[in-house]
Each structure stands twice: as structure tokens, then as C-alpha cells.
């Protein structure tokens, strides 16, 4: 994901007062662990007003009728993940409110960081570690190990 695209997206989310948390590779970058990625993963609160604010934020950037297909009922339902691909098709935004039974939006521990004058909610290193350490994806396990080493996290204590 290009720097300018990230700034524009995060600025729009802040302006619209979207309740979200950055997770995934972009969150790793915020914590100083560089990793290239073609997407941004956002955990969002699945309430209807918040999803409306999310859609307004996206519309302010993309003016794309496809954004209207993002529905709070989906994010609050059985399949709480949506992938939005902006018209440029250069990157995508993974929008989720739950990861199976393991994590909901309310479970995501975040910290506020400032980035280019924007307040950004980012999952904490310990939270990212817990989200990644037991997945089947090798990249997630490698990310978890980097987090563990960088932040002196202890696997046995849940890394609070």
C-alpha cells in the first residue's frame, strides 16, 4: 500500500469518526517492524452508525457505488469480513469485525498513535502477537515471532 493512499484513508476515517483498529502488516509497520503489504486490515465496530461512517469515509475518497454494498448486517452477521477494492485496483481494504470466535472488535486492545498529524488506533504489539501466533499462515507466525522478540513478549502469559 502506498504511503499517500494510507494517509488519505486514515485521515478520512478520523474525519468521519469511524471506530476502527489497524491490524495486520500496516500495524506491524506502525510498531517499527517493516513489512511490505498490498492491503490494510481494519477491524471495525459493526454497529450500523459506525458502518455508515465508514462508508462515508470511503466515499469521500473514492466516490464508488460499490461502497454501498458494504452492509452493517454483513459485518454483524455470520460472515463478518468484507474486502473492498478501490477503483484503482492497486490495493485492497480488508474490513472485519470478528475473526471467528477468537476475536471481536471489542476484544482488540489498541493504542492511539499519531501519524502525519492523524490520530490512528492501532492494535498493540501484544494483541497482534495473540492474533497471529496460532494461525496456519506461515507469514503470521513469522510476524508473531518478530513481535515476541522485539517487544520481549512471553508466549506463555498471553502477552498482556
Domain CATH number, residue 58: 3.30.460.40
pTM (two decimals)? 0.94
**Dihedral class, residue 6 (left if φ above 0, else alpha if ψ from -120 to 50, else beta):** alpha
Q: Residue 101: its pLDDT value, please?
A: 86
> Is the predicted pLDDT of residue 159 greater than 70, yes or no?
no
Give the model's confidence band at 147: pLDDT under 50 very low, under 70 low, under 90 confident, else very high. Answer: very high
Count of domains forming the chain: 1
The 10s digit of each residue's pLDDT in 48-68 is: 999 999 999 999 999 999 999
User: Within a domain: residue 160?
Assistant: no
Q: What are phi and psi of 142, to 5 degrees?
A: -65, -40
Q: Residue 158: its pLDDT value, please?
A: 52
Q: Residue 160: its pLDDT value, please?
A: 45
Measured CA to CA, the distance from residue 68 to residue 107 in angstroms comes to 27
User: Within a domain: residue 159?
Assistant: no
What is the average pLDDT across 10-19? 98
**Dihedral class, residue 22 (left if φ above 0, else alpha if ψ from -120 to 50, else beta):** beta
Give the contacts of 79 (CB within 8 A, at least 6 positions apart).
Answer: none
User: Within a domain: residue 157?
Assistant: no
User: Within a domain: residue 22?
Assistant: yes
Q: Residue 100: its pLDDT value, please?
A: 86
Give the range of the structural domain holding residue 49, as residue numbers without chain letter. Answer: 3-151
Amino acid at each position: 500500500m502506498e504511503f499517500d493512499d494510507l494517509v488519505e484513508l486514515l485521515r478520512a476515517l478520523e474525519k468521519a469518526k469511524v471506530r476502527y483498529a489497524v491490524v495486520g502488516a500496516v500495524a506491524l509497520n506502525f510498531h517499527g517492524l517493516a513489512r511490505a503489504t498490498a492491503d490494510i486490515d481494519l477491524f471495525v465496530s459493526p454497529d450500523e452508525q459506525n458502518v455508515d461512517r465508514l462508508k462515508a469515509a470511503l466515499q469521500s475518497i473514492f466516490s464508488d457505488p460499490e461502497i454501498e454494498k458494504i452492509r452493517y448486517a454483513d459485518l454483524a452477521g455470520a460472515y463478518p469480513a468484507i474486502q473492498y477494492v478501490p477503483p484503482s485496483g492497486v490495493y485492497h481494504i480488508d474490513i472485519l469485525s470478528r475473526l471467528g470466535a477468537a476475536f471481536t472488535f471489542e476484544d482488540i486492545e489498541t493504542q492511539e498513535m499519531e501519524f502525519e498529524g492523524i490520530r490512528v488506533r492501532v492494535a498493540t504489539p501484544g494483541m497482534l502477537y495473540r492474533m497471529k501466533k496460532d494461525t496456519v499462515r506461515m507469514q503470521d507466525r513469522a510476524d508473531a515471532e518478530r513481535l515476541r522478540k522485539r517487544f520481549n513478549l512471553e508466549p506463555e502469559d498471553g502477552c498482556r
